Amino acid sequence: MTSTRPSPDWLTDAVLYQIYPQSFADSDGDGIGDFAGITEHLDHLAWLGVDTVWLNPCFTSPFRDAGYDVTDYLAPAPRYGTTEDLAALVEAARRKGIRVLLDLVAGHTSDQHPWFRASAEDPSDHRYIWSERPVDGFVASPGGRIGWYRPNFFECQPALNFGFAREDPDQPWRQPVDAEGPRANRAALRGIMAHWLGLGLAGFRVDMASSLVKDDPGFVETGKLWTELRDWLDRSHPQAALFAEWGDPAAAVAAGFHADFFLQFGGADHGLPLRSLWNNNAGTVEEFWKQGPCYFEAEGRGTPEVFLDAWRSAAQLTEGAGHIALPTANHDFSRLATGPRTADQLAPAFALLLTWPTLPAVYYGDEIGMRYVPDLPDVEGSVLGPTYNRAGSRTPMQWAPGPNAGFSTAPAERLYLPVDPDPHRPDVATQRADPTSLLHTVRRLIALRRAHPGLGARGSVEVRHAGYPLVYTRAGRYLVVVNPRREPAVVPPAALPDGAGRVGRPGGLRPLDVQGVRVGAGGELRADGFSYGVFDLG
């Protein structure tokens, strides 16, 4: 796919960082993270080298789904601060070369949103999807209106009505996409986006981006909706970016998004390409996510092929038109350090992430190897089922050693989740002081990516060995070796470009950033357990 669409000039070089505002930094000790806390910690992000921050929803909300249940899209939740505090964060970030993206919850509101409360009283209102008779999956009206509404996620999240792609006289709630309610909702989305872009925000991550038009085979009508918004952005805000939460970059980019994530769900393989890298069945596990060994597994029983195949296909379909973002984790999915995968095993994962032609996305805390904490109680809708517990990925950022992870001393409400009980849990302060720490490794790899654009999203990639180790070249000029298993692994000689074996000699390999990859006695390239190497082929 090629595209003549304009695209923000910063996007291709972006390194993303996801901040869960509840848990990132608490400036006033009230027991909950806030905008001012983030502002105070921008130095950490600038030092690390990331340049694009995505904030999870920070709007007013009853927090039945951690803020994905919005009651006012234009007002920040008081727990995080005021609009001025958010503007101050955006401005302080801008001065450090960091852009801020907000989370746009496009498909539903809270059932406490004034739009919904009005709709639940007025049978002529069609901002939401209402049936006059009970329908499977619909929820009874909480107001004077006699009817049942369609939820989008939890029952407290009524779906906004963007219409249906297919009508059916027996199901009168299936309105066409150009009916009055859907048109009002599309206009509202544009208004929300214009408001925040006017304040200096750099774009949005769009929640459940594929969910807007219902019963939409091939997402044809959903694509038209996003393309209309993208056309408007291209004209009026060409430096703004739209990231989808879709999990199928080819579909999302075709629908008009600048980028989409490989996710734990979505696409033809239902998220297996991402999970085949990271998911060791020990963190946030849906029953149907259970899978064989992933590639980043100490026993070395996985394969990178599932990821690579999906990557090739998505890259081909999005080439020139959009980007694929690759996350370490997110607020709905296990962290890298989950179950048997300990922080000292993570360097090769970051080496792959930061030398791959993707938009890399670091989930807060993964840069120090914060652990997924199992079996935490539900907080604000984090527990979705007996095994699908998102709380373990949402614990407070560990800024310093100590019982509260240096986060807060006096929680006013029980909003915080316990920190990792392991006394040796990682923290930023300790790792900043230790040049051999994971934090320094991540920082070095980001700096390397910036210093060598061929390692970034633009350069070509050629996979030369898809096993243990994974071996690839970038831009025909860099060689990357990644060994995520405990056992050493030898690079097959045929995987090396001609002459590359002569390490340090003319035309041979020049080490750029190497942890545990060395030339063996027989001249072969050997990768220790949990090692990586990035070389210049000169």
Per CB under 6 A, residues contacting ligand NOJ are 65, 68, 105, 153, 207-208, 245, 331-332
Residue type, 168: D
Given the complex with ligand NOJ, which of 221 and 332 has the nearer CB atom? 332
**CB 176, min distance to ligand NOJ, A:** 25
**CB 57, min distance to ligand NOJ, A:** 8
Given the complex with ligand NOJ, which of 34 and 65 has the nearer CB atom? 65
Given the complex with ligand NOJ, which of 208 and 370 has the nearer CB atom? 208
8 A C-beta contact, residue 315 and residue 324: yes
Given the complex with ligand NOJ, which of 153 and 289 has the nearer CB atom? 153
**CB 185, min distance to ligand NOJ, A:** 16
| CA 230 – CA 254 distance, rounded (Å) | 11
Given the complex with ligand NOJ, which of 201 and 244 has the nearer CB atom? 244
Given the complex with ligand NOJ, which of 216 and 245 has the nearer CB atom? 245
**CB 177, min distance to ligand NOJ, A:** 21
**CB 73, min distance to ligand NOJ, A:** 13
| CA 187 – CA 182 distance, rounded (Å) | 9
**CB 42, min distance to ligand NOJ, A:** 24
8 A C-beta contact, residue 181 and residue 125: yes
DSSP one-letter string for 4-67: -----TTGGG--EEEE-HHHH--SSSSSS--HHHHHHTHHHHHHHT--EEEEPP-EE---SSTT
Residue 487 CA, chain-centre distance (Å), reads 30
| CA 204 – CA 207 distance, rounded (Å) | 9
**CB 209, min distance to ligand NOJ, A:** 10
Beta-bridged to residue 489, according to DSSP, are: 527
Q: What does residue 514 show for φ and ψ, rounded to 5 degrees?
A: -135, 130
**CB 278, min distance to ligand NOJ, A:** 17
**CB 22, min distance to ligand NOJ, A:** 12
Residue number of the CB atom closest to ligand NOJ: 68
| CA 406 – CA 446 distance, rounded (Å) | 26
Given the complex with ligand NOJ, which of 245 and 260 has the nearer CB atom? 245
**Where is 86: in which H helix or E strand?**
helix 83-95
Beta-bridged to residue 17, according to DSSP, are: 53, 362
Given the complex with ligand NOJ, which of 18 and 404 has the nearer CB atom? 18
Longest distance between any two alpha carbons in the chain, whole Å: 81
Given the complex with ligand NOJ, which of 34 and 207 has the nearer CB atom? 207
| CA 515 – CA 69 distance, rounded (Å) | 44
Q: What does residue 396 show for φ and ψ, rounded to 5 degrees?
A: -60, 140
Given the complex with ligand NOJ, which of 67 and 256 has the nearer CB atom? 67
Q: What does residue 377 show for φ and ψ, rounded to 5 degrees?
A: -70, 160
Given the complex with ligand NOJ, which of 65 and 513 has the nearer CB atom? 65
| CA 428 – CA 267 distance, rounded (Å) | 36
Phi-psi region of 30 (alpha: psi -120 to 50; beta: other; left: phi over 0): alpha
8 A C-beta contact, residue 535 and residue 496: no
Instruction: Using only the alpha carbons of the chain, give its radius of gyration.
Output: 24
**CB 242, min distance to ligand NOJ, A:** 16
- Kindly report whether the peptide bond that precedes residue 469 is cis, defined as omega within 30 degrees of 0: yes
**CB 107, min distance to ligand NOJ, A:** 7
What would the 3-class secondary structure string for 199-211 be? CCCCEEEEECHHH
